[in-house]
Structure 1
């Protein structure tokens, strides 16, 4: 069976993409699937004796099927916590989609599922000519949108969903991350988002989720 892939993007940075990606990996593994996370590009990495390491990529590595080296999970790692294409330029590196494809293919060849986590939002650049949206659309992967429930989230969610759909990518659905402190009138905002996006959230993440949160993959599987 050919491995399936889902791409996790967000309405912004720091909205819970890693939280959702790791929870989905745990859910897939609990359901008996070989599932691995992929953080193709990460900026904001710590310098360690074994090289640059990113917390999000490490979390994906820990949540997925064991046995993968860090550089298989995160082929492009940059120290500065800035936009990935800027960090890459500062490091004298060009992020090459072909290298990202090769890394994904390696994971997919030994897995049932690959959960790919983007950086920032849908249109974050990879290099001067290509952004995450171009890469994902070219791969024809379904997309899951994480909405951080905070002031401005309705506009951000509508713009992101519209951009994903207009690009021709299948939008599987969205996850509401109820970030602390809890947004005032959060239920009203959730109802509004369900109306404007056309579907209710596939999941609601509580403000203080369990560290080993696992999401049931069945709602996603039914839409892919």
Structure 2
């Protein structure tokens, strides 16, 4: 049984965060999970990932595996994550140490192949924040621009989140892309004046920025897409069908 409308237009987005460990993978996985529960097809990409483990199948990154698990129909690991590196360091440094040329062109083709499958919801997740370098000339945001995808902004809510969120939004819009929605992901539930911080984010991103908030995910002791899904609304992304 599917909720998909026969004339539904495939939706695709680039997922970025205000910083490393903002919760991009949890939120992206949860959005994909929510789409699957509606009977929609899903696909995901993690163009480049550091902090991968060596396995009998090759390098495997936990974030990419989490995204792969939410793809319906199933996708191969290489389709999801074409560039994986072992050390948990900045991708351009990891690539340099591995003697791999990391570029927008090298990542663009596999992501375009992924998008060509035209799943009902496709998410391409970045690494770190918006301006993470790929090499001495290009950054991961240049891939988002090349793909020409609207952006989902994951705000890791902790001290400094308001400034990080506003700067990231300004950078995305300066690069010519729109933000389709934002999520407040509470990283530190001990953040002073948490409710006031959330209200300020709502003011600057939604009321003044006109960007829909897809939800506020509280700090979860055991974060999973099933648990986080209770707090997110994907309707602004895929409609009501």
Category of TM-score, reference length = shorter chain: over 0.9
Q: Show CA shifts across 1:106-127 (max 9, x none).
A: 2223323210110000011122
Please name the residue that 2:76 is paired with.
Answer: 69
**Aligned mates of 1:67, 1:192 — CA distance in 2:** 40
**Aligned mates of 2:55, 2:39 — CA distance in 1:** 34
Is this contact kept in 2: 1:3–1:108, CA < 8 A? no
**Aligned mates of 1:168, 1:105 — CA distance in 2:** 19
After TM superposition, the structure 1 = structure 2 runs for residues 88-103 of structure 1, keeping only pairs within 5 Å, are: 88-103=95-110
Please name the residue that 1:141 is paired with.
Answer: 149
Structure 1 unaligned runs (5+)?
A: none
**Aligned mates of 1:173, 1:64 — CA distance in 2:** 21
Is 1:218 equivalent to 2:197 in the alignment?
no
Is this contact kept in 1: 2:214–2:233, CA < 8 A? no
Correspondent of 1:122 among 118, 123, 130: 130
**Aligned mates of 1:99, 1:68 — CA distance in 2:** 19
**Aligned mates of 1:69, 1:16 — CA distance in 2:** 23
Is this contact kept in 1: 2:104–2:140, CA < 8 A? no
Please name the residue that 1:170 is paired with.
Answer: 178
Please name the residue that 1:9 is paired with.
Answer: 16
Normalising by the residue count of structure 2, what TM-score does the alignment of the two structures yield? 0.86
**Aligned mates of 1:108, 1:194 — CA distance in 2:** 31
Q: Show CA shifts across 1:32-70 (max 9, x none).
A: 221111100000001111111100000000112142111
Correspondent of 1:154 among 162, 165, 183: 162
Q: CA RMSD in A?
A: 1.7
Is 1:202 equivalent to 2:218 in the alignment?
no
Deviation of 1:95 after TM superposition, in Å, equals 1.5
Normalising by the residue count of structure 1, what TM-score does the alignment of the two structures yield? 0.92
Q: Which moved more, 1:98-107 or 1:73-82?
A: 98-107
1:120 is paired with a residue whose SS is coil
1:148 is paired with a residue whose SS is strand
The alpha-carbon distance between structure 1 residues 210 and 11, as it changes in their structure 2 partners (threshold 3 A), is closer
1:102 is paired with a residue whose SS is helix
